[in-house]
Amino acid sequence: MEEQLKKLLPPAKEKIQPYGLKLTGLHYFTTKPNQRSQKKRKCLSVCFDAITNNINFFGSDYENWRRVQLVELAYEIGFDFLSKVFPDFEIWLDFKISLAGSLVATEPFSKSQGLKEKSVDVTNDNDVYFVPLAELLAKGEIEEDCTLDQYCRRYGLDMVLKHGWHCISPDNSSVEALEAIFDVQKVESVLEIGSGVGICGVAAQRQGIEDFTFVDSSPTVCEYLRGKFPSYKVNQSNVFEFNFERKWDVALIGIPYELNPWFLEQKGWSLVRQCKVVIFQSACVGFFQHENDWIHGIGKFEDWPWWSGRQTVRHYFENSLQFNFEWQTCIVATHSELTLNMICGEMLRRGFSCSSEYKYIKL
């Protein structure tokens, strides 16, 4: 596999140079024999590593459309090639950018390309929709026994939530982490921001939890949740406008990965005051790893003009750990070291890992 991946480096280096990016290599993740991918049984996630000296690469205030354009650029470089070489694999591609060198401030993308207009910006585009699991299986869009198939069947769900081409729910790592917490401490109340198809609500119902609050910005999702969970509270609200007016034992944060830093900056103090344990569904392994490292305080972000310590989990919670589960990662944060240690033990027993799940290929 590495020999095939090395063939991506020369064209990627040439393609990204006009944007003020210097390729340094790539890191990748692939499912092990006992793991499953989201839509297929196997996946390959490739993240191009690059450096820039342009402090405006994401915009002075981190403009989301620029971040999405990086993902699109990665797919333009590698998707066709990897799909042909590894036809049985689900392919994910991304960029991870570091700041280095003699710093400048220029426009990294040409406005004549119309990139902002064609990129899906999750800060203002939340047009999600439900697709029946049976339809996705019949069309061959997902394979039997993939993660989506397994978890829908395990929790009695017949719908998958999508945003564009991307399946965003049900989420495996969040519900596994939540059930690990159920196994080690008493939980009476749960808050879920970014609720999807309600897999965590099903888990809470099975646990006998009566106090569960869903928060989602989509009226489509909220209508679905009200029908499926008539005894649970459903709050239609933008994540940045939601008011934490009470306390919860556990909070699950399932918003688009790239919004996590801004959510922490604006709502972190409310979160730390009102929630005992927080689960951040933070990224896929190698896909949006940039933001995952950012909120977990891994790597050097201080030189970026938009960076703030308030965008990191550890600014609010002294005790936090990143976990990998198959193709996905999550961060668990608590006020208590003892609580985190107990949760960690149960999560490791369930198949989570605290070690890095990807390998590097240097240019």
Distance CA 39, CA 197 (A): 16
Place of tokens 């991506």: 8
pLDDT of residue 356: 83
CATH number at residue 20: 3.30.300
112 with 217, same domain: the answer is no
198 with 107, same domain: the answer is no
In a domain, 277, yes or no: yes
Model pTM score:
0.93
Contacts of 297-300 with CB under 8 Å at 24 or more apart are 299/98, 300/98, 300/99
- In three-state secondary structure terms, 30 is strand
Q: Using DSSP, how many helices (H) and how many strands (E) does the chain show?
A: 12, 14
Q: Could you read off the pLDDT of 230-263 as tens digits, one per residue?
A: 999 999 998 889 999 999 999 999 998 888 999 9
Our count of domains for the chain comes to: 2
Distance CA 216, CA 236 (A): 5
* H-assigned helices in the chain: 2-6, 9-16, 64-85, 115-118, 133-139, 147-154, 172-184, 199-207, 219-228, 260-274, 289-296, 337-349
176 with 301, same domain: the answer is yes
Place of tokens 């005790």: 319
Q: Using a pLDDT cut of 90, give the percent of the chain over it.
A: 75
* φ, ψ (nearest 5 deg) of residue 95: -125, 145
- For residue 234, what are the β-bridge partners? 214
178 with 274, same domain: the answer is yes
The residues, any chain, with a CB within 8 Å of residue 162's CB and separated by 6 or more, are 128, 129, 130, 131, 168
pLDDT of residue 121: 59
345 with 210, same domain: the answer is yes
Q: What DSSP character marks residue 314?
A: G
Residue 189 domain boundaries:
169-354
Q: Which of 1, 41, 120 is nearest to 327 (CA)?
A: 41
105 with 203, same domain: the answer is no
pLDDT of residue 116: 46
Distance CA 276, CA 216 (A): 21
pLDDT along the chain (363 residues), means of 10: 95 93 96 92 96 88 82 93 96 94 82 50 73 97 96 97 90 95 97 96 98 95 97 94 94 92 94 96 87 89 91 95 92 95 97 91 92
Distance CA 116, CA 95 (A): 18
In a domain, 148, yes or no: no
CATH number at residue 309: 3.40.50.150
Q: Which of 118, 133, 158 is the last residue of a domain?
A: 118
**Structure tokens belonging to residue 221:** 């999702």
> 239 with 261: CB under 8 angstroms?
no
pLDDT of residue 68: 82
196 with 338, same domain: the answer is yes
